[in-house]
Copies of this chain bind each other. A is one copy, B any other.
Amino acid sequence: MQMMDAAVFTGPGRIALERKPVPQAGPGEAVVKVTMTTICGTDVHILKGEYPVQPGLTIGHEPVGVIAELGAGVAGYEIGQRVVVGAITPCGQCHSCLEAHQSQCGGHAMGGWRFGNTIDGCQAEYVRVPFAMANLAPIPDGLSDEQVLMCPDIMSTGFGGAENGGIRIGDTVAVFAQGPIGLCATAGARLRGASRIIAVDTVPERLAMARTLGADHVIDFRQTDPVDEILRLTDGRGADVTIEALGTQQTFESCLRALRPGGTLSSLGVYSGKLSLPLDAFAAGLGDHKIITTLCPGGKHRMQRLMNTLASGRLDLRLLVTHRFPLARIEEAYALFASQTDGVLKVAIVP
């Protein structure tokens, strides 16, 4: 039996590199040799034991790699082909998928999120891909691993926040928090035609990156109250769309306070603790507000669209990759990423 290295959740507080058998492809599945992957904020929640993952599971849901094996019934692909696979791997054939709720595959909340959650993930040398026909997305020639590394989750989620906000040409959009996902929401708002994009954070590098990716205004919330400033910029009206990209009561509430009547709060954050709706900002339920939550859209078609966007030069998300580690040093990478020091945005992991 061929063995490989894999980053395994061994219990709260510990992700360790272990030896595991290389997976094999069953019918409809594929095995991908991982050439690059990355660490997500959710992985840090798992590491901290805040998310219910079984000890022993390989972590990671953002694979870039090369097809190593194709199971029975998987056609139209070749061994050796470079592919991206989304963090969410819909089956395409259940009721939820057939009604275009692929992220909720199987009808269960977050059911489409399998990698590093309910099946072994991709912070390893190899990863088994379920429902391969629906999920293997060939990488266009000319795009490097690092160029497409944000596709599986960060770019798909951030763009999803902009898309589901229903942004129209000429809209004012405010994006609260400029971590990797918020930055992609900012970029997505730009791509959808917002004419005034306001990015909120406090880390100077992140605010600078927000400008690079499309923000017209940046607000350091430690220096300026973002709600006041957004209302000021919009003559008291509020933003047409606000995007929450952190997952805290404060940012959620600010998104509602900075929103105009009839506007949309597009929520991307993973919340913990309690979440309440301030009734004054919510117009007691009479403001024609919309609150839309989005889990990372997946599937090969989504991945292809995102790669189309990168291939056309609309934006370059290599900017988000601030650090690089070999898989062997992934514990170090987790420590850096969790500490949010050294200007870290995303770390590339190379098996």
Contact = CB atoms under 8 A, between A and B. Distances in A.
B261 A107 contact: yes
Interface stretch (A55-63, A271-279, A335-343): A271-279
B28 A92 contact: no
Interface stretch (A8-16, A191-199, A200-208, A220-228): A191-199
A98 B134 CA distance: 8
Contact of A261 (B108, B131, B302): B108
Contact of A272 (B283, B284, B301): B284
A287 interface: yes
Contact of A93 (B95, B133, B163, B191): B133
Nearest to A134: B93
A27 B109 contact: no
A311 interface: yes
A23 interface: no
Interface stretch (A288-296, A316-324, A325-333): A288-296
A283 B247 CA distance: 12
Interface stretch (A33-41, A77-85, A119-127, A262-270): A262-270
Interface size class of A (residues with CB under 8 A): 35 or more
Residue among A95, A101, A109, A131 with most chain B CB within 10 A: A109
Interface in A115-145: 131, 133-134
Contact of A104 (B90, B262, B292, B299): B262
B110 A261 contact: yes
Contact of A304 (B90, B95, B108, B269): B95
A283 B110 contact: yes
Interface in A160-178: 163, 168-172
A163 B261 CA distance: 19
Chain multiplicity (copies)? 4
Nearest to A269: B285
B134 A287 contact: no
Residue among A91, A95, A102, A308 with most chain B CB within 10 A: A95
A18 interface: no
A273 to B, nearest CB: 8
Nearest to A42: B286
B101 A288 contact: yes
Contact of A288 (B92, B279, B294): B294
A38 B243 CA distance: 40
Nearest to A95: B301
A100 B101 contact: no
A96 interface: yes
The 7 A-B residue pairs whose C-beta atoms are closest, nearest first, are A170-B305, A92-B92, A101-B262, A104-B261, A93-B134, A98-B301, A109-B283
Interface of A: 27-28, 72-73, 90-104, 107-111, 113, 131, 133-134, 159, 163, 168-172, 188, 191-193, 195-196, 216, 237, 247, 260-262, 267-277, 279, 282-295, 299-302, 304-306, 308-309, 311-312, 314
